[in-house]
Amino acid sequence: MATVKEVAEMLRGSRSRNNRGVAPAKIRTYGGIIYDSQAECKQAFELDQQKSAGLIYAWERQIAMPIRLNGVHVCTVNVDFRVKDKPESEWRYIEVKGFETETYKLKKKLLLAMYGPNFPYEVVRV
């Protein structure tokens, strides 16, 4: 569970950024894990809150989804989170995005083509 200080840091945010446009690690850290973005960090916090409230059963982060074509490994898409609403339910996948790069758009198409049109994948836009 998050400390009050961790939650305050996430909610306050920061205007200071390094030259790559990534928020400092200090405000991307939650539960001892440094997330790729501040938005991902906040999503992890929200998932913990939902789990504590009994709204979801479980969640995991950074799920590697291999993309294969004709038996050849093409790439691996790392989905930010997967969530199970109930013990008997299937996993659903969540990607947190502030900006969709061309690489991401291509990997998203590959992911949906590989795992089918009913693949439970959602994008949380920030």
Residue 51: the pLDDT is 97
49 with 71, same domain? no
d(CA 23, CA 6): 15
45 with 68, same domain? no
What is the extent of the structural domain holding 31? 1-54
68 with 120, same domain? yes
Which of residues 28, 54, 80 is at a domain's end?
A: 54
60 with 44, same domain? no
Residue 17: the pLDDT is 44
d(CA 78, CA 42): 18
> How many alpha carbons fall within 13 Å on the CB side of residue 108?
16
- pLDDT tens, per residue, the chain with 126 residues: 555 555 555 555 544 444 456 778 888 888 888 888 899 999 999 999 999 999 999 999 999 999 998 899 999 999 999 999 999 999 999 999 988 999 999 999 999 999 998 999 999 998
46 with 76, same domain? no
Q: Contact, 114 vs 68, CB < 8 A?
A: yes
Maximum CA extent, the chain? 50
This prediction has a pTM of 0.78
d(CA 27, CA 76): 27
81 with 106, same domain? yes
Q: Report the number of distinct structural domains present in the chain.
A: 2
27 with 60, same domain? no
19 with 41, same domain? yes
Q: Contact, 23 vs 38, CB < 8 A?
A: yes
